[in-house]
Amino acid sequence: MQEKTKSHSFIFPKTPTGVDGLDEITDGGFPKGRPTLICGGAGCGKTLLSMQFLIKGITEYDEPGVFMSFEEPSDDLTLNVKSLGFDLEQLKKDKKLVVDHVRVERSEIEEAGEYDLDGLFIRLGHAIDSIKATRVVLDTIESLFAGLDNQAILRAELRRLFHWLKTKGVTAVITGERGEATLTRQGLEEYVSDCVIVLDHRVIEQVSTRRLRIVKYRGSTHGTNEYPFLIDEDGISVLPITSLKLDNEVSSDIISTGVPGLNEMFHGGGFYRGSNILVSGTAGTAKTTVACYFANEQCEKNEKTIYFAFEESPHQLVRNMKSIGIDLEKHIKKGILQIHSSRPSLNGLELHLLTLRKLIKEFEPTTIIIDPISNLISVGSEHEVRSMLVRLIDMLKANNITAMFTSLNKQTDSFRPDLAEESVSSLVDTWITVRDMEGVGERNRGIFIIKARGMGHSNQVREFVITSKGIELLDVELGPQGILTGAARQSYQFKKTMSDIKLQNEISRKDREIERKRKVLEANIEALRNEFESAEEELSILKATEELQEKLSSKKK
Amino acid sequence: MEDSSDGTSTTKHKFKLFVSGMSVKSGHAIENIRKICDTYLTNNYELEIVDISRDKEQAVIHQIVAIPTLIKTHPEPKRIILGDLSDKEKVLYILNLSE
C-alpha cells in the first residue's frame, strides 16, 4: 500500500464511505487513518451518515468498526437503523461491530481534583483492539461538555484523543452539533481539521431538502458545492449536482417513434437511441398519447420501459390507452413495462430524482417516459428544477437511456415555447410540439418538430386525428394560403373534388367537340378530294382533246 | 458494627476506585481516599481498587470515562466523584462525612 502510494502518480489514501455519491464528491472517501468531522444541526442525519459509514465498511469493505455513542443507548441505535435494513445485532455477533454507549450524567457526577479521560481512551482502545477495527465513530463527543465541568481538561483531552486516534491509524468520524458562529458548538473543528463536512437541513416553500458540503479536505481535491442528499429506506444517498464531464458515448441507432407518419418527418426515420425527447403542448393535445405510442413501440421491440406518470394512475392510463387501441397491459404482464404513478408534491424534487435513479438501477430500462415533466416544476423553483433535470438527463445519457418527457405549457398565441419549457429546451435533443389549431368553430391538433439534434426534419405542421384506431397523421394539404386543417381541409377537399368533376365534364365535352370537328373536317376533306378529282378529270379530258387536235393538224401539213 | 461509637459510620461504606496503571493522578487518588477513609471511617469501609488498564471490561460496565473515578456504592445514594480527590473538603461534603 505504502509503495503504491509513493509511486509517481500519488493517490491520497482514502477510506471509501460506501455512501452513494459521497465517494464521488470526496474523490474516494474520507482521509484514511485520520479523523473527519461531520457537523450539522439537529435532525440532519449526522448519526445516520456515520452509522452508514461503519456498516458499509463492514458489509462492503470488510473493515470492522467501533461506534461510540455519547447520546443514544445501543438498543435505541439498533432500533433506529433497523428500519434502514441494517442489523446491528448480527454484526455485533459476528465480531465486526462494537457499539459502546458512553453515559455521562451530570447530576450523578461530582468533580474533586485533577482527572483525565483515560477511561474513554481505554474503552475505545479496548473496543478497537477486540475486533481489529479500522473505522471509528464518535457520536457526538460534544456531549461530554455537557456532562463534565472542567472545560480546560476536556479540551486538552480531546486534542489528545484525536492525536491518539491518528496514531492508532483508524479512520475516525466525529460528529458535532452545529454552533451559532462556529461549525460546532465547542469548536471541534480546531482539533479535527483534516476533513470537515457540514450537513444542513433547509425548508424552502414547504419542501425540505438536506444538503451536504465539504468545507475542507486536506491533501485532496473535492467537490465544493452544496450537494443535496436524501434519507430513504436504504440510508443516505448524495447526488452530485452534475457530473463533471460531458463525454458519454452516443449511439447512431435509430428507433421508431411508434407514430405512423411521424417517423417520416425525421429524415433519419425516428429518434436516436439514448437521446432525450421533449413533447410539449397545451392541455389536451395528446402528449400522453404520443408518449404511450412511443412506450408501446419500445415494448413491442422488447425494450424495457419505465413510465412515470405524475397525472394518472397506472390503471387509468392503461384504460385510456385501450380506448385508442393501445394495449399496455400485456407489456406490463410480460414485465417489460413498468408504470409508476405518484403525485409530484409527494416528495421534494430530490427524492423524485432518487426514486428515478433507484428504479433505473434496479430495472435497467432502455427507455423511460416522464409524463409530464412540467408537473415537477410546481414542486421546486425554476432553478432547482433545472438543476434536477440536468442531473436527470446526465444520468440518463450516461446509461444510454432514451427518454421522452412531456411538458404541459400554457396556451400562447405564438408557436414559441413559454418559460417552463425553456428550462428544459436547451437540454433535450429532440423537441416535438403538439398544438391546438383553432379555426372556424373547431379545434384541430397539429404536430411539428422544433428541433432534432443531428437529424434533418420536416418543417411542416402536420395535422393528426385520434380515432379509436389511434393516432393518424393526415397528409399535407397545401391550399392557396398554406397548409389546411380540419374543416378547411374538408371544404378544400370538397371544392377540389367538385372542380375535378367539372374539369372532367369539360374535358369530355371538349373531346366530343373535337370528334365532331374531326367529322366535319373529314367531310370537308372528302368534298375537296371529290372536287380535286373532278378537276383532275377535266384536266385530263382537256389534255386528250389537245393531243388529238395536234395530231390532226400535223397530218394536215 | 452497630455499637460503633461514630454516628456517621454506622453502616459500612463501600468504595470502588477506578485507576489506570501507574499514572500520577491514580497514585494521588489512592493515597487521598485511603487517608480520608482511615481518618473518618476507621476500619469500617471496603475499598476496591480497579485498574481498568488491566480489567478493561470493568470500564464499560461502570461507565467510566474519566480517571481516576471514585464510586461510592454503599450506602445509598450512589455517588460518583471524578478527580484525584485532592479537594478534601469537597470529597467529605459529597460523601456526607464530617470530622
Residue A64 belongs to a domain: yes
Question: Between A and B, how many CB-CB pairs are < 8 A?
Answer: 97
Residue A27 and residue A175 share a domain: yes
Give the range among A414-423, A439-448, A504-513, B89-98 with minimum mean pLDDT.
A414-423
CA distance A143 to chain B (A): 12
- Residue B98 confidence (pLDDT) above 90: no
AA identity, residue B98: S
Q: What is the pLDDT of residue A537?
A: 93
Give the range among A85-89, A94-98, A284-288, A389-393 with minimum mean pLDDT.
A389-393
- Which of A115, A141, A148, A149 best probes binding to B when mutated, by most B CB atoms within 10 angstroms? A115
Question: Which residues in A lie closer than 8 A to residue B20 (C-beta atoms)?
Answer: 118-119, 122
Output phi, psi for A261, to 5 deg.
100, -35
Model confidence at A347, pLDDT cuts 50, 70, 90, reads low
- Residue A201 confidence (pLDDT) above 70: yes
Residue-range definition of the domain harbouring residue A429 = 254-475
Q: What is the pLDDT of residue A348?
A: 67
| Domain residue ranges in chain B | 7-95
* Number of helices (H), then strands (E), in chain B: 3, 4
Model confidence at A418, pLDDT cuts 50, 70, 90, reads low
Residue A190 belongs to a domain: yes
Q: Using the beta-carbon criterion (under 8 Å), do A117 and B69 form an inter-chain contact?
A: no
Instruction: Report percent pLDDT > 70 for chain A.
Output: 90
pLDDT digits (tens, 9 = 90+) for A144-153: 888 888 888 8
Model confidence at B7, pLDDT cuts 50, 70, 90, reads very low
Q: Using the beta-carbon criterion (under 8 Å), do B65 and A122 form an inter-chain contact?
A: no
Q: What is the pLDDT of residue A510?
A: 94
- Which of A105, A107, A118, A164 best probes binding to B when mutated, by most B CB atoms within 10 angstroms? A118
Residue A410 and residue A261 share a domain: yes
Q: Is A100 on the interface with B (CB under 8 A)?
A: yes
The secondary structure of A402-443 as a DSSP string is EEEEEEE----SSSS--HHHHHHHTT-SEEEEEEEEEETTEE
CA distance B70 to chain A (A): 10
Residue A461 and residue A352 share a domain: yes
- Distance of alpha carbon A384 from the chain centroid: 14
Q: Using the beta-carbon criterion (under 8 Å), do B65 and A116 form an inter-chain contact?
A: no
Residue A218 belongs to a domain: yes
CA distance A101 to chain B (A): 8
Pull the grid cell for residue A138. 464518535
Q: What is the pLDDT of residue A4?
A: 43
Model confidence at A243, pLDDT cuts 50, 70, 90, reads low
Q: Using the beta-carbon criterion (under 8 Å), do A110 and B90 form an inter-chain contact?
A: yes
Q: What is the pLDDT of residue A427?
A: 78
Residue A480 belongs to a domain: no
CA distance A131 to chain B (A): 14
Q: Using the beta-carbon criterion (under 8 Å), do B25 and A116 form an inter-chain contact?
A: yes
Active site members of A: 71, 311
Q: What is the pLDDT of residue A2?
A: 44
Tell me the three state secondary structure of residue A282. coil
- This model of the complex carries an ipTM of 0.86
Instruction: Report percent pLDDT > 70 for chain B.
Output: 88
Pull the grid cell for residue A181. 458562529
Residue A138 and residue A277 share a domain: no
**Of A373, A361, A432, nearest in space to A398 by CA:** A361
Q: Is A110 on the interface with B (CB under 8 A)?
A: yes
Q: What is the pLDDT of residue A203?
A: 77
Residue A196 and residue A158 share a domain: yes
Question: Which residues in A lie closer than 8 A to residue B53 (C-beta atoms)?
Answer: 118, 122
Q: What is the pLDDT of residue B9?
A: 44
Q: Using the beta-carbon criterion (under 8 Å), do B23 and A118 form an inter-chain contact?
A: yes
pLDDT digits (tens, 9 = 90+) for A451-498: 888 888 888 888 888 888 888 888 777 766 666 777 777 888 888 899
Cβ-based neighbours of A432, under 8 Å, separated by 6 or more: A262, A277, A278, A279, A280, A290, A447, A448, A449, A450
Model confidence at A414, pLDDT cuts 50, 70, 90, reads low
Residue A271 and residue A232 share a domain: no
Q: What is the pLDDT of residue A412?
A: 55
Q: What is the pLDDT of residue A423?
A: 64
Q: Write down which residue in A434, A459, A475 finishes a domain.
A: A475
Highest averaged pLDDT of the listed ranges A65-79, A178-192, A365-379: A65-79
Q: Using the beta-carbon criterion (under 8 Å), do A115 and B69 form an inter-chain contact?
A: yes
Residue A234 and residue A265 share a domain: no
Model confidence at A410, pLDDT cuts 50, 70, 90, reads low
Pull the grid cell for residue B64. 467510566
Select from A103, A115, A123 the Cβ nearest to the Cβ of B84: A115
Give the range among A405-419, A538-552, B10-24, B79-93 with minimum mean pLDDT.
A405-419
Average model confidence (pLDDT) for chain A? 83
Residue A541 belongs to a domain: no
Residue A282 and residue A136 share a domain: no
Of residues B59 and B2, more confidently modeled: B59
Residue A441 belongs to a domain: yes
Fold entry, domain B7-95: Glutaredoxin (3.40.30)
Pull the grid cell for residue B32. 487521598
SS3 content of chain B, % helix, strand, coil (to 5): 35, 25, 40
Q: Is A152 on the interface with B (CB under 8 A)?
A: no
Q: Write down which residue in A475, A492, A517 finishes a domain.
A: A475
- Residue A379 confidence (pLDDT) above 70: no
Q: Using the beta-carbon criterion (under 8 Å), do A109 and B81 form an inter-chain contact?
A: yes
Residue A165 belongs to a domain: yes
Residue A303 and residue A217 share a domain: no
- Residue A542 confidence (pLDDT) above 60: yes
CA distance B10 to chain A (A): 24
Number of independent structural domains in chain A: 2
Rounded distance, CA A375 to CA A530, Å?
A: 94
Nearest CA in chain B to A119: B65
Q: Using the beta-carbon criterion (under 8 Å), do B82 and A112 form an inter-chain contact?
A: yes
Residue A63 and residue A188 share a domain: yes
Torsion on CA atoms A284, A287, A293, A296, rounded to nearest 10: -110
Q: Is A335 exposed, middle or buried (0-12, 13-18, 19+ CB in 10 A)?
A: exposed
pLDDT digits (tens, 9 = 90+) for A501-514: 999 999 999 999 99
Rounded distance, CA B46 to CA A340, Å?
A: 71
Of residues B95 and A69, more confidently modeled: A69
Give the range among A62-66, A123-127, A288-292, A438-442 with minimum mean pLDDT.
A438-442
Q: Could you tell me the CATH number of the domain that includes residue A427? A: 3.40.50.300
Q: Write down which residue in A238, A272, A304 finishes a domain.
A: A238
